Amino acid sequence: MTFLDNCHSDIDRGIKIINRFLEQNKNLKLTEIEQAIIHGSLARLTYQNMQQQEKQLNFYTVEYISRNLAFDLWNKLSAAAHNSQIFDPEYRINKKKLWHFVDRINQLQEEDNFELIDIPGATMEGEKLQDRYEIEEHLFDRDSGERHFRAIDRCLRDKPCLVIQRNHQTPKIRKQFEREGEALSHIGKHYQIQELLAYFTQDRSLYLVYEQIEGKALTELLTEEPWQELKVKELLHSLLTVLVFIQEKNITHRNLNPDNIILSGNKWVFTDFATIKEVNLQVNSLSHSTFAEGMKDYMPAEQLMGMTTFASDIYAVGMIAIRALTGIQPHQFKINPKTGNKVWRKYAEVSDLFADTLARAVSYHFGDRYQSAQEMLENIK
């Protein structure tokens, strides 16, 4: 008998207990997505496994589930815990502490107790980096060797942040890390770009620390209902304005997709800059990708082959606009066998001029696309 067979009824009861607790203390209920995350957490699944096994989460990437959906859920539960005055004001709920949380409110509600399951955490949980950033929760790992964590900044009123760890310290990787950290720091502050708070080495590992951006990802706002052309143009104008700023630093993002674009307040914010690359203007404007990652639907052919140009990010924002305009996922479009381009126009209610602009942006051959964000921006004004 498996672990899940043993505790399935306890997990279901745990979800009911949390729901009752929320109703009593905040007059709230768990959404289906939140229940899926709680179910997976109580079943001791990693976020990767949750994404695969919980059907409500299949639509999202593991990055978005762990960084945004779970983060919002833990904040929601923590606020209810504080509001109840049962838990200490410093008490913060996360995946590791969830069984403890359920057991505690279960006892207070005088339900039949069930055995508390001690969920082992990642080895870094509780560790403090640079005597400042305390690791709170392991989020996910990438094939490249990166490990992603949520942390709190003990020097800045316990402000949440994201930590990326790289363990492969070959001379080449270390040099790439130093170039990347320097490039990120040169971007400077921009209200639509996730801020790099620190980069450093510690105990033979490399670290990047980013601010935690709260809000809704574009993924959640893109439904099967097509957006109106004017709304898509407004989105595109905002995204291209940020790209102009980035490209002025000779940098490409390389991971632009709806998961990494967050609506925070009334502004769109670019996140997940861990895969940026400086463009080498001396070698045919191409740079070989060491950490090529992201949602492949929004990656052009040359990037999947390990090369990026400014036009690679242009392709990504163009495909995002087409996704919004049609309500159709990019991989669902057929491919024109003669040109390699996706066949999408017949699914969109769009003016010919704007359609031509988007068609050029997502051309299969990068030489046929706009070569800069500024050039494309001027064509949608």
Backbone region of residue 194 per phi and psi (left: phi > 0; alpha: psi in -120 to 50; beta: other values): beta
Structure tokens at 321: 């606009």
Q: Residue 55: inside a domain, yes or no?
A: yes
Q: How far is CA 347 from CA 88, 118, 224, 320, 333, in A?
A: 54, 51, 12, 15, 10
Are the CB atoms for 38 and 73 separated by under 8 Å?
A: yes
Do residues 173 and 229 both lie within one domain? no
pLDDT for residue 290: 35
Do residues 228 and 179 both lie within one domain? no
pLDDT for residue 169: 61
Do residues 89 and 138 both lie within one domain? no
For residue 135, give the amino acid letter.
I
- CA-to-CA distance for 359 and 319, rounded, in angstroms? 9
CATH number at residue 189: 3.30.200.20
Are the CB atoms for 43 and 59 separated by under 8 Å?
A: no
Structure tokens at 195: 């801020």
Are the CB atoms for 78 and 93 separated by under 8 Å?
A: yes
Q: Residue 115: inside a domain, yes or no?
A: no
Structure tokens at 125: 């949980």
User: What is the tally of structural domains in the chain?
Assistant: 3
CATH number at residue 292: 1.10.510.10
Range of the domain at 192: 128-211
Do residues 9 and 98 both lie within one domain? yes
Which of 188, 211, 234 delimits the end of a domain? 211
List residues bridging with 89 in a β-sheet: none
- Virtual CA dihedral for 259, 266, 373, 227, nearest 10 degrees? 70
Q: Residue 83: inside a domain, yes or no?
A: yes
Do residues 231 and 373 both lie within one domain? yes
Q: Residue 114: inside a domain, yes or no?
A: no
Q: Residue 122: inside a domain, yes or no?
A: no
pLDDT for residue 274: 52
Which of 153, 185, 211 delimits the end of a domain? 211
Which of 78, 108, 138 delimits the end of a domain? 108
DSSP E strand stretches across 102-250: 128-129, 133-141, 146-153, 159-166, 196-202, 205-211, 216-217
Do residues 332 and 240 both lie within one domain? yes
pTM of the predicted protein model: 0.76
Do residues 257 and 370 both lie within one domain? yes
Do residues 350 and 284 both lie within one domain? yes
pLDDT for residue 116: 43
Q: What is the pLDDT along the chain (381 residues), one digit of tens a residue?
A: 344 444 667 888 889 999 988 888 777 889 999 999 999 999 889 999 999 999 899 888 888 899 999 999 999 999 888 888 777 777 888 888 888 888 888 776 654 444 444 434 446 778 899 999 999 999 988 776 788 999 999 998 889 999 998 875 667 777 777 777 887 777 778 889 998 899 888 877 889 999 999 999 999 899 889 999 999 999 999 999 999 999 998 888 888 999 999 999 999 999 987 555 555 444 333 333 333 333 688 999 998 888 889 999 999 999 999 999 999 999 999 999 999 999 999 999 999 999 999 999 999 999 999 999 999 999 987
Do residues 101 and 140 both lie within one domain? no
Q: Residue 276: inside a domain, yes or no?
A: yes
Do residues 158 and 19 both lie within one domain? no
pLDDT for residue 70: 93
- CA-to-CA distance for 216 and 35, rounded, in angstroms? 18
Do residues 203 and 233 both lie within one domain? no
Q: Residue 120: inside a domain, yes or no?
A: no
Do residues 335 and 205 both lie within one domain? no
Q: Residue 163: inside a domain, yes or no?
A: yes
Structure tokens at 182: 């320097």
